[in-house]
Amino acid sequence: MPPPDPRQPAGGAPSRTLRLGHRGASAGAPENTLLAFRRAIKLGADGIECDIQRSADGELVIIHDDGVERTTDGTGIVGNLPYAALAALDAGQGERIPTLAETLRWATDTIAGGVAPFLNLELKGTGTGPDTLVALGRAGYPGPLALSSFDYPTLEETRQADGAVELWLLSGPYHDDLIAQARAIGATCLDLNHRAITPAVAARVAAAGLGLVAWTANDPADIRRLLALDPPLRAIIGDHPERLAGGE
């Protein structure tokens, strides 16, 4: 069987909800590190969510906060630091801040081992979308993926650069404008805070022909509720992949 086509939009209702480790298996490993990504897959996740930012000199790195203080032994703003400075930091348990290229190599190696991890690459910062597309092309990355962002202009410029890549529009709350926005950029899914996903919202989004993604579901009761929705979610994202994997 050929590898899944990463440029193929999901389209239609998925038959099975993807379980994605939020920043990897971030409850049990340093978030947004290769260790957390490996652990997520080991714990039964179908893939991972991770956050992409640009260093001062344009390297795409995987880190959530604007600053490095919470997750590393360094100080400063990611976008003001050159990659060499970021690469020297300890991101926990001896891990470093991975680059997107390193993450794609990990995912490619995982595919070679027989498992194709789904990558949800969250774009944080103007220009990260087009740059991510370049990195994917350079790596020849063959696996399934979706790019998401809270920042609409970032998704717009990503869509302009690639007419087919799967896009998810992130938001905390649900509001009806999101449906028109998602359609305007050809996003396949609204990617909402799990608390915003009520049966009424799920019905409205499904009627609009869009899928739904839920973040960040950690409580087993929430996970059960979300996995029982019909039509099923495209993906559920959580810090405890083992809970997502055992939730059905």
239 binds Mg ion (CB under 5 A): no
22 is catalytic: yes
Chain positions 48 to 87 lying near Mg ion, rule: CB under 5 A, are 51
Strands (E) across the chain are located at 18-22, 47-54, 60-62, 118-123, 145-149, 167-171, 189-193, 211-215, 235-238
- DSSP annotation string for 151-194: -HHHHHHHHHH-SSS-EEEEESS--THHHHHHHHTT-SEEEEEG
Cβ proximity to ligand G3P, 106 vs 168, nearer residue: 168
222 binds, among Mg ion, ligand G3P, none (CB under 5 to 8 A by kind): none
What is the C-alpha separation between 186 and 177, in angstroms, rounded? 14
Name the minimum Å distance from CB 2 to ligand G3P: 28
| Binding mask of the shown chain, residues 103 to 132, with x at each position contacting ligand G3P by CB under 6 A | -------------------x----------
- In the range 3-42, which residues lie near ligand G3P by CB under 6 A? 22
| Site string (189-228) toward ligand G3P, x via CB under 6 A | --------------------------xx------------
Cβ partners under 8 Å of residue 27, min gap 6: 218, 239, 240
Query: Known catalytic residue: 240?
Result: no
Amino acid (1-letter code) at residue 35: L
Between 58 and 87, how does the x/- string for binding to ligand G3P read (CB under 6 A)?
A: ------x-----------------------
Q: Output Rg (C-alpha) for the chain, integer angstroms.
A: 17
- Show which residues are catalytic: 22, 64
